[in-house]
Amino acid sequence: MERLVEASEQEVKIDFVLGSKCRANVRLKSLSATTPVAFKVQTSSPNKFLVNPPSGLIQPLSYATFQVVLKPQSQLPATFPRSPSDRFLVKTALAPASTHPEFTHDLKLKVAFVGPFLLRHAVAGGDLDAVRNIIKRQRSILTEFPSRDAESLLRVATELSNSDDMVALLVEAGLKTDDARAGLGDVTESRWASKGWTDLHVAAAFDRTEEILSLVRASEERRPLDCRDKEGRTPLHLAASKGNERCARVLAGAGADVNAASKDGRTALYRAAANGDRQMVELLIELGADPTISSMDRGRSAIDVARDKGHTEVVNLLQRGEAVLEAARRGDLNHLESLLDRDASVSFHDQYGLTALHVAAIKGHKDAVMMLVELGSADLECQDHEGHTPLHLAVEGGHAETVEVLVNRGANVNAESKKGATPLYFARAMGYDDISLFLTESGAAVSSLPSTPSSSLSSIL
């Protein structure tokens, strides 16, 4: 049966503190485009949880939020982070005119107990699995630890019988202390060596932007930016996995391959999508990451793994990017404007590196081109995998008005493809005299043209 709502996450994550009232918010989105959706929330443990409000109405394609309150508990959860006995059931129905809708659709949400209190307890007990699973659910938990608390946590970890594994887990997950930044001596240095990590890998994993800048300057001599660890991961993979946006931007800006795949075929974008990291996904798309690349294990793309893991914001982001591309291809101005009003990405591109601006240009949809530039702030100099800008493709399509729109808005008339072809060369090679004259009058250089035209892309659009 088709769902009527979706939840922001598939688990209710409660930041647990012993003896205190704990809260978590759950956001619901209506999937109905025309009719309001009624909902009510039930819990398997009414003696432990309160829900506010327990029921409500969501307008079409809108959102509603309810709060889960855990009553003060005198004991730690029997198991954590996953609680096998606690569940929430969200029952939904299309809202009829009556005040008593018949609830026929169910959404089940599991419960996970997380937070610094339980993390400290798990570390003190040497419970690697619990620590690993709390970190998995709260990726930023260690990076947000105050310095004094981080040092205390590290001291506890170093006194365990499995201290090497615990310390390495905490540091790799982002625990930041002076000792961690120094490498924690022989313990973690040997750990990095066993993984095949270079200094650049370590800096990217631990969000050391200044160190990356220093290493990048030396990369021409001895440290390639796309160096691989034993799993085939580059430093950019680690920066993306850890959510270290500044590091990712520096690496990509210095020339790191944003589409490099590790041994399992996973790219940096795939890893960010799997983590549900919307900001990192947006950044990588902006930097030219290809969302169509599939992993080797199950042949899934970034959008597939985000959908499988219930990361709805990432799925919506990638889906809207695909929708922008398709609306631009068709010249569907109404749909395109609607997408741009919802901040859909104009940097999304297909397997050929073509963005919405590219496909609108080669199809001659000049109004779509204007909309993408003016409402979506599309990059006039974005390049596909062959180095073609939208102006190259507008010329190749023979669309004089679209060429004028792009040039009048600042497109570089002397942009060169990877084979050295300029828009003027395209125009002359294809016999478009009117476009050639316009480009020349707009400052296009006549010299240094290649001897053969760059291969046409018309067949793939």
61, 85, 114: which is the final residue of a domain?
114
- Residue type (1 letter), 31: L
pLDDT score for 297: 63
Q: Provide the residue count of the chain.
A: 461
- Please give the helix or strand (H or E) that residue 195 lies within, else none: helix 185-195
- In this structure, the strands spanning 82-94 and 37-43 are antiparallel
| Rounded Cα gap, residues 416 and 412, in angstroms | 9
In a domain, 66, yes or no: yes
Q: Give SS3 for 372.
A: helix
Residue 361 sits in a domain whose CATH number is: 1.25.40.20
pLDDT score for 457: 41
- C-alpha distances in Å from residue 350, one per residue of 43, 353, 387: 44, 5, 14
In a domain, 17, yes or no: yes
pLDDT score for 455: 44
pLDDT score for 449: 53
- Residue type (1 letter), 294: S
- Please give the helix or strand (H or E) that residue 120 lies within, else none: helix 116-124
- C-alpha distances in Å from residue 420, one per residue of 27, 45, 47, 382: 51, 68, 72, 16
pLDDT score for 458: 43
In a domain, 145, yes or no: no
Q: Enter the DSSP assignment of 65.
A: E
- Hey, CA dihedral for 269, 273, 275, 278, is it positive or negative? positive
- Residue type (1 letter), 146: P
Q: Enter the DSSP assignment of 145.
A: S
* CB-based contact 245:237 (threshold 8 Å): no
pLDDT score for 159: 87
Rg, the chain, Cα only: 26
Q: Enter the DSSP assignment of 458.
A: G
Two tokens, residue 93? 């129905």
* CB-based contact 353:389 (threshold 8 Å): no
Two tokens, residue 45? 């443990």
73, 99, 114: which is the final residue of a domain?
114
| Rounded Cα gap, residues 391 and 458, in angstroms | 14
pLDDT score for 308: 84
In a domain, 438, yes or no: yes
- Please give the helix or strand (H or E) that residue 128 lies within, else none: helix 128-137
pLDDT score for 131: 94
pLDDT score for 446: 77
pLDDT score for 73: 95
In a domain, 432, yes or no: yes
Burial class (CB in 10 A: 0-12, 13-18, 19+), 40: middle
Q: Dump pLDDT digits (tens) for 358-401.
A: 999 999 999 999 999 988 778 899 999 899 999 999 999 999 99
Residue 102 sits in a domain whose CATH number is: 2.60.40.10
Number of CB atoms found within 10 A of residue 362's CB:
26
Residue closest to 302 by CA, chosen among 348, 342, 238: 348
In a domain, 322, yes or no: no
How far is Cα of residue 432 from the mean position of the Cα atoms in its chain? 42
- Counting Cα atoms < 13 Å in the Cβ hemisphere of 348 gives 30
82, 99, 114: which is the final residue of a domain?
114
* CB-based contact 205:239 (threshold 8 Å): yes
- Counting Cα atoms < 13 Å in the Cβ hemisphere of 227 gives 19
CB within 8 Å of 368: residues ≥ 6 apart = 327, 328, 331, 332, 333, 336, 356, 360
The order of strands in the sheet holding 22-30 is 5-7, 22-30, 63-70, 49-52
Question: Structurally, how many domains does the chain consist of?
Answer: 2
In a domain, 101, yes or no: yes
| Weakly modelled stretches of the chain, pLDDT under 70 | 1, 97-101, 176-191, 219-223, 297-298, 447-461
The pTM of the full predicted model, rounded to 2 decimals, is: 0.57
Q: Dump pLDDT digits (tens) for 123-153.
A: 999 999 999 999 988 877 887 777 778 888 9
Residue closest to 270 by CA, chosen among 247, 287, 245, 295: 295
In a domain, 209, yes or no: no
Q: Bridge-partner residues for 271, per DSSP?
A: none
Residue closest to 415 by CA, chosen among 440, 391, 446, 395: 391
The order of strands in the sheet holding 82-94 is 11-15, 105-114, 82-94, 37-43, 55-58
pLDDT score for 33: 87
- In this structure, the strands spanning 5-7 and 82-94 are unpaired
Q: Where are the alpha helices (DSSP H) in 196-267?
A: 199-205, 209-222, 235-242, 245-253
Number of CB atoms found within 10 A of residue 446's CB:
12
- Residue type (1 letter), 289: A
CB within 8 Å of 430: residues ≥ 6 apart = 395, 396, 398, 453
Task: Identify the domain containing residue 358 by its residue range.
Answer: 352-460
- Residue type (1 letter), 138: Q
